[in-house]
Amino acid sequence: MGTGIDLPLDQVMVGDCLDMLRQLPPASVHAIFADPPYNLQLKGSLVRPEGGRVDGVDDAWDRFDSFPAYDAFTRAWLTECRRVLRKDGTIWVIGAYHNVFRLGTALQDLGYWILNDVVWRKSNPMPNFRGRRFTNAHETMIWASRGPESRYKFNYAAMKSLNDDVQMRSDWLIPLCTGAERLRDEDGKKVHPTQKPEALLHRVILSCTSPGEVVLDPFMGSGTTAAVAKRLGRRFIGIERDETYAAAAQARIDAITPMPESAALSLPAKREQPRVPFGTLVERGLVPAGSRLVDRHRRWKAEVGADGTLRCGKAVGSIHKVGAAVQEAPSCNGWLFWHVEHPNGSLRLLDELRAEIAGS
Amino acid sequence: MGTGIDLPLDQVMVGDCLDMLRQLPPASVHAIFADPPYNLQLKGSLVRPEGGRVDGVDDAWDRFDSFPAYDAFTRAWLTECRRVLRKDGTIWVIGAYHNVFRLGTALQDLGYWILNDVVWRKSNPMPNFRGRRFTNAHETMIWASRGPESRYKFNYAAMKSLNDDVQMRSDWLIPLCTGAERLRDEDGKKVHPTQKPEALLHRVILSCTSPGEVVLDPFMGSGTTAAVAKRLGRRFIGIERDETYAAAAQARIDAITPMPESAALSLPAKREQPRVPFGTLVERGLVPAGSRLVDRHRRWKAEVGADGTLRCGKAVGSIHKVGAAVQEAPSCNGWLFWHVEHPNGSLRLLDELRAEIAGS
DNA sequence: CGTCACAGTGAATCTAAAG
DNA sequence: GCTTTAGATTCACTGTGAC
């Protein structure tokens, strides 16, 4: 990694988010997950139909006097995060309708480039007791790169695998953090009011980091980000102001055993696999020089040159160039266009032949 | 109603949104649905894997010079809308991640009170062709009252009955506007690039208005809001700058017959089939990454990857692919082949685990 | 008339490595 | 930095035409 010299890796920094962020070197973390205070502005307490009181979020850290005050706070920590984020890093920010629009606006104004907004659909949300609104059944995460030209990382194949081999969508159905996963104190009271489910962080961290990379959480709370990062073989930096939360998180993290690296590595995408030039197939006699390639419908035939070029009428060049030329298309992936014709008449795609010799 | 004296009811006002809004009397409409330009900021063109080109939104009306320019425009029309909205009225605003955070921030800054953000989940979105992001499968609507103390209308019972007698949630699954509903010209070209589905407006209008009340759409486009309002026995006011759009909308509206009020409450609720990808079991810790699966006879063991892939010797891939590979069979249903082994030695079929979490 | 194969399409901020 | 080239990449649904 090369930049990790001064990084307090795999630690919880106890202190103010801004103070701690300022101690980190620039361009040093691969990903950030931030679950900032929600600015909920609840008035009075909410009472359930049967009389019980709803244990809502009314902690002091969650109250701001005004939108400008909240915006100033938001811009301050997002500015520091952008400094700390590597050029190719990405940030995730989660919020609900009370604050997420301020977060998104601030991200854009500070130069971040939004890649997706991702909806966490809660399978078991709290109902709306008064029947005055729709059940508030989701929260929104914003995924952004450092800027519009960033070459950010996205583990497309891993996300596709997670979703039964179809593209992962921007709406994720995941249950709330309940049961054994929810941290509770001796009295059975929940340690943190907004503990996020590990399944959510599993998908987030898997989507945009590789094993060994560094994930920063500037509002660590109960430590879900750090716990999942450790389990997935990533490094983490957690920042938490509240000492009770920090201690609970530390104990939780200590109990985690990382999974074997073979499990943490996701299936490499095709574009990350070693390349086999077409000329190699010619050299090895799989596609002999002088033989002919055809497209799927046998509309075009092309002759293979000893140097790995194709010829089809006037078109001469790589399998891609000639494929594009005969179709009069702007571009073409020759591997998926040209076929070898067997004497028995069956066709084999070049891409299949390539797969056979990859790794040999 | 009492305020309708000067209202141009059930008409399309052709002209600039701000000019037309200023002609309307204050506190005169019960609900507003606004689908403003998204400021998509598309650069070059996008080519599909098979070679086709995406017909993107490149209309002049969607181009703004900067975020401040877009914000100024947004604040101007939202200010006029607030003046025109009755005290007990509500507004819906729809957008995507490009603009919706600006919209929400402006709403809050102008004194509106957000009641819900509602996610329109598209059942058939366009995929992400380059595999560089999550499929952009939703848009966001913000529902807000005129201010924090508003006595707004919410037809809770109607929403509940629309949803099989459980509270309507904040995430709605509705298909894109395609097929016969999509307005097309003589050449078969779509009349408007972003026509909204009637099912979406059906739910919106039904949720917050009564028959006879007035719905305003300041960016009417192809007229979906007006068409649904008329069908549901509501009055409408449409504003549209583009004469072609306005004419198409007028023709569409003229062809509508209002439905009897009793019928307004029946909407085929699309049941969701609970499809659970194997990766979900991994994320949720039911089948931990790094653990092993075995077949019924314990002849093969496979390691579970964090991305939901299996590894068994050289075979890597989905539970189905690896199941087929080890058996040297053409195909295999991994759900019925692989088992989790308990510490006590008993086996549980994956399909049983899946059944447990289906729908949660 | 049914079935199947194939083409078309939808608010899209859509590449990465080598030279 | 730049330009050039290789080559990776799609889901759900609708409509049409062949058989």
Looking at residue B358, what is its pLDDT? 76
**Average pLDDT of the residues in A102-123:** 98
Cα atoms found within 13 Å of the Cα of residue A186, Cβ hemisphere only: 0
pLDDT higher for A269 or B339? B339
- Is the Cβ pair A171, B360 closer than 8 Å? no
Q: How far is B14 from chain A (nearest CA, A)?
A: 32
pLDDT at B303 over 60: yes
Confidence band of B116 (pLDDT split at 50, 70, 90): very high
Let me know: does A79 contact A57? Beta carbons within 8 Å.
no
Q: Read off the tokens for A156.
A: 């497309």
Let me know: does A238 contact A11? Beta carbons within 8 Å.
yes
pLDDT at A349 over 60: yes
Looking at residue B106, what is its pLDDT? 98
**Average pLDDT of the residues in A113-120:** 98
B131 DSSP 8-state letter: S
pLDDT higher for B15 or A44? B15
Confidence band of A58 (pLDDT split at 50, 70, 90): low
Instruction: Tell me which residues of chain A, numbers 37 to 76, contact chain B at a CB-CB cutoff of 8 Å.
Output: 67
Looking at residue A66, what is its pLDDT? 86
The chain A residue lying nearest B280, using CA atoms, is A162
CB nearest A175 (choices: B51, B135, B360): B360
pLDDT higher for B173 or B265? B173
Dump pLDDT digits (tens) for A154-204. 999 999 999 999 999 999 999 999 999 999 999 999 999 999 999 999 999
Write out chain A residues lying below 8 Å of B68, CB-based. none
Dump pLDDT digits (tens) for A249-265. 999 999 999 999 989 98
**Average pLDDT of the residues in B88-101:** 98
CB nearest A101 (choices: B101, B306, B316): B101
pLDDT at A134 over 70: yes
Strand ranges inside chain B, DSSP E:
11-14, 29-34, 85-95, 113-122, 138-145, 171-174, 214-217, 235-240, 292-294, 301-304, 310-312, 315-317, 339-341, 347-349
**Average pLDDT of the residues in B159-167:** 90
pLDDT at B113 over 90: yes
pLDDT higher for B270 or B244? B244
Between helix B67-84 and helix B100-109 the angle, nearest 10°, is 50
Distance from residue A335's CA to nucleotide D9's C1', rounded to whole Å:
13
pLDDT at B36 over 50: yes
Mean pLDDT of chain B: 93
pLDDT at A314 over 60: yes
Q: Read off the tokens for A104.
A: 């998104």
B227 DSSP 8-state letter: H
Please enumerate in sequence order all residues whose Cβ is within 8 A of that of A20, keeping only pairs 6 or more positions apart, or say none. A13, A218, A239
Distance CA B16, CA B331 (A): 60
B137 touches strand C (CB under 7 A): no
Which range has the worst mean pLDDT, A41-50, A150-159, B23-32? A41-50
Q: Read off the tokens for B187.
A: 């050449």
Size of interface A-B (CB pairs under 8 A): 213
Distance CA A359, CA A275 (A): 10
Dump pLDDT digits (tens) for A68-80. 999 999 999 999 9
Distance from residue A171's CA to nucleotide C2's C1', rounded to whole Å:
37
The chain B residue lying nearest A100, using CA atoms, is B101
Confidence band of A50 (pLDDT split at 50, 70, 90): low
pLDDT at B250 over 60: yes
pLDDT at A48 over 60: no
Please enumerate in sequence order all residues whose Cβ is within 8 A of that of A165, keeping only pairs 6 or more positions apart, or say none. B318
Q: Are β-strands A347-349 and A301-304 bridged in parallel, bridged antiparallel, or unpaired?
A: unpaired
**Average pLDDT of the residues in A323-343:** 86
Residue to substitute from A70, A71, A117, interface B, most B β-carbons within 10 A: A117
CB nearest B304 (choices: A133, A135, A263): A263
The H helix count followed by the E strand count for chain B is: 10, 14
pLDDT at A56 over 90: no
Q: How far is B130 from chain A (nearest CA, A)?
A: 10
Looking at residue A195, what is its pLDDT? 98
**Average pLDDT of the residues in A336-348:** 84
Helix (H) or strand (E) segment spanning residue B158: helix B156-162
- Out of A188-192, B185-189, B265-269, give the one with best mean pLDDT: A188-192
Looking at residue A42, what is its pLDDT? 46
Looking at residue A341, what is its pLDDT? 86
pLDDT at B357 over 80: yes
**Average pLDDT of the residues in B129-149:** 97
Looking at residue B273, what is its pLDDT? 62
- Is the Cβ pair A171, B138 closer than 8 Å? yes
Say how far residue B105 (Cα) sits from the centre of its chain: 20
Bridge-partner residues for A120, per DSSP?
A139, A172
Q: Which nucleotide has its C1' atom closest to residue B131's CA?
A: D9
Dump pLDDT digits (tens) for B308-355. 999 999 899 999 999 999 999 888 999 999 999 998 999 999 999 998
Let me know: does A205 contact A31? Beta carbons within 8 Å.
yes
- Is the Cβ pair B167, A135 closer than 8 Å? yes
Mean pLDDT of chain A: 90
**Average pLDDT of the residues in B229-251:** 97
Looking at residue A331, what is its pLDDT? 82
A157 touches strand C (CB under 7 A): no
**Average pLDDT of the residues in B9-25:** 98
